[in-house]
A and B are shown apart, each in its own frame.
Chain A
Amino acid sequence: MAKRTLRTLIGATLLAAAGLGQAQEVRTVAITQIVEHPALDAVYQGVKDELAEQGYTEGDNLTVMHESAQGNSAIASQIARKFVGESPDVIVAIATPSAQTVAAAARNIPVIFSAVTDPVGAKLVSSLEAPGANISGVSDMLPIEKHLDMLQRVMPDAKRIGTVYNPGEANAVSLVNLLEERLAARNMELVKAAATKTSEVLGASRSLVGEADAIYLTTDNTVISAAEAVISVGERAGIPVFAADTATVGRGAVAALGFDYYNHGRQTGAMVVKVLNGSNPGDMPVETMDTLDLFVNPAAAQRMGITLSEDLIQDAKEVVKNDK
């Protein structure tokens, strides 16, 4: 009896599914990321959430495959080939090294990359406007000009801007080069301190004491992992620390003009949906982050020896209150 009811139920569901047509077709999205890391994990979560919001539900009409190479490029290459072999509807590649291995392995499968700062320099696309082949995505190139405007609004007299970065990280180096160029255009100077691993961030930050009026941190993975080290130096030496991503404001930076990797993932997810709905990545221009929210932390500013103006706090989307 129970069996028959079940069978009737399954039959009815199948009929309903047939009625809905291709909405019930199961699509496959394969996501590869080079390493587990809060920012990259947030991208992954963002992609999945956006897919769900736009009607692609895992286990229902969507299968998501996800692998991390744990920072090992040989494994990244095998993951890329595994995914190509499974021929999913879209491959999502998070961060430059993963995107390059997927690009080398995938011929005809649509690829959407995410968290790649310089897709042209990484040879993923021939131009940002018209990628051409089977690859497009979202670039995490920072709106450096807007960030510098924000920094100058808080500290109009700052001339020497310090930054800590990992010279071994492709994304970080692109940003630091750009930063140097843009600061020079404003008659300002960039003071660089290199840290090749998280344990070197503290020492590198200390080298900026007396050399920099303010510190600005890009989305460098190594440095952001150890942002507390920079912030502690900023507090002790009275050098305000600004960040490119909003999460670091919660950890004690003075202010950031919104870059949020979760939203970055949501935007990536939106591009994935377009591909699932039939768009060709080659016709989709590379996108950059479109939402910019100001986050400020007045208590942190106090600890670093400056006071944030009322109108700046008024403009902030979020005022972080941590008294430590």
Chain B
Amino acid sequence: MLSEIAFYGAIETGLIYGLVAFGIYISFRVLDFPDLTVDGSFPLGAAVAAVLIIGGWNPWIATGAAVLAGMAAGAVTALLNVKLKILNLLASILTMIALYSVNLRIMGRPNIALLTEETVLTPWYNLDLAYHQVPVLLFIIVVVVSLILLWRFMKSETGLAMRATGANPRMARAQGIATGAMIVLGVALSNGLVGLAGALFAQSQGAADVTMGVGVIVIGLASLIGGEAVITPSTVVRALLACVFGAIIYRLAIAFALNADVLGLQAQDLNLITAVLVTLAIVLPGVRSSVIGKFTRNKA
């Protein structure tokens, strides 16, 4: 039913969105910070990487710069919240809107093509693999490395302080944790991961486009919740694995939806399918305790 290329394509896009889901895990789950900056930091990462790549930079350095740019965007959102006391959701919307203009400035035009440029993927095509398998292999490595680094970070003293900040800010402050600094660091880290995803996406897509961030937050959230429905996020590792699997499952679901002419489903229905998937994931019995509470309880 699903062709091999469509299958690998879904895995490839899923792995990239797994990085987005990592970011959303940090902001939503660890810090309890609803962060819409990602709709801007995803194309920001793409923009920075694309401009540097066509400027002749090494694609890995360009990708690293994209991570830093994403972190800067996240830091701005967090500082608006922590220093200027702007509501976290609003702070992130402000940064997201500003980033649209910033991204246009960085690129100088709405679309930068990378089809003929040397990207992080180029050298890997020399491997003895099918064309559509190469990005999957490289992105698995990137995702696994990110997962291990994040896991180790979350176990470190700083990581524990960050988790305490999200779980109970008042208690954390009483323990001497600089909660403001933790929020800045966490949101920056989150958007750094999203910037990385944007940079890789642009390189596998063949172009950076200023409109490519639309809906990243919803898809990231759908991946996160979908993953948690499959893998109970009882530990940090399981939560991170849930992010990756959720993103891949979401992409496979879309690939099937694109093939599901039998069911009468069409591409026009994809947004509806996303909403249904998220809703189903929330109401599935197994995740009642872990998810519903976080999404329906009135926070004090």
Taking Cβ atoms with an 8 Å cutoff, the residues of A that contact B are: 36, 67-75, 77-82, 84-86, 96-97, 100-101, 103-105, 107, 121-124, 126, 167-170, 172-173, 196
Interface size on B, residues (CB 8 A): 43
Q: A73-B209, A75-B270, A101-B205 are in contact. Are A81 and B5 (CB under 8 A)?
A: yes
From B4, B17, B109, B258, A79 is in contact (CB under 8 Å) with B258
The reply to whether A85 and B3 contact each other, CB–CB distance below 8 Å, is yes
For residue B259, CB closer than 8 A to chain A, the reply is: yes
User: Distance in Å from the Cβ of A71 to the closest Cβ of chain B?
Assistant: 6
The reply to whether B214 and A101 contact each other, CB–CB distance below 8 Å, is no
Q: Which residues of B contact A167 (CB under 8 A)?
A: 104, 110
Find residues 2-29 in chain B having any chain A CB closer than 8 Å to their own CB: 2-10, 13, 17
The reply to whether B206 and A103 contact each other, CB–CB distance below 8 Å, is yes
User: Distance in Å from the Cβ of B55 to the closest Cβ of chain A?
Assistant: 15
Q: Which residues of A contact B3 (CB under 8 A)?
A: 82, 85-86
Q: A77-B9, A101-B205, A103-B115 are in contact. Are A82 and B268 (CB under 8 A)?
A: no
The reply to whether A74 and B17 contact each other, CB–CB distance below 8 Å, is yes
Q: What is the chain A residue whose CB lies nearest that of B7?
A: A85
Q: A70-B271, A103-B206 are in contact. Are A75 and B104 (CB under 8 A)?
A: no
Give the docked Cα–Cα distance between A96 and B206 (Å): 11
Q: Which residues of A contact B116 (CB under 8 A)?
A: 123, 126
From B210, B251, B271, A78 is in contact (CB under 8 Å) with B251
The reply to whether A78 and B255 contact each other, CB–CB distance below 8 Å, is yes
The reply to whether A196 and B206 contact each other, CB–CB distance below 8 Å, is no
From B113, B211, B219, B251, A123 is in contact (CB under 8 Å) with B113
The reply to whether A72 and B100 contact each other, CB–CB distance below 8 Å, is no
Q: Which residues of A contact B113 (CB under 8 A)?
A: 100, 121-124
Q: List 6 A-B contacts (CB under 8 A).
A: A77-B9, A78-B10, A97-B207, A104-B205, A105-B9, A121-B113
The reply to whether B215 and A72 contact each other, CB–CB distance below 8 Å, is yes
Counting chain A CB atoms within 10 Å of each CB, the highest count among B4, B8, B254, B267 belongs to B267
User: Distance in Å from the Cβ of B212 to the closest Cβ of chain A?
Assistant: 4
Q: A85-B7, A100-B115, A170-B111 are in contact. List 12 more A-B contacts (CB 8 A).
A: A36-B268, A69-B267, A71-B214, A72-B214, A77-B13, A85-B3, A96-B111, A97-B207, A104-B206, A105-B5, A167-B104, A167-B110
Give the docked Cα–Cα distance between A105 and B4 (Å): 13
The reply to whether A168 and B104 contact each other, CB–CB distance below 8 Å, is yes
The reply to whether B207 and A100 contact each other, CB–CB distance below 8 Å, is yes
Give the docked Cα–Cα distance between A126 and B116 (Å): 9
For residue B131, CB closer than 8 A to chain A, the reply is: yes
Give the docked Cα–Cα distance between A78 and B212 (Å): 14
From B111, B258, B271, A82 is in contact (CB under 8 Å) with B258
Q: What is the chain B residue whose CB lies nearest that of A167?
A: B104
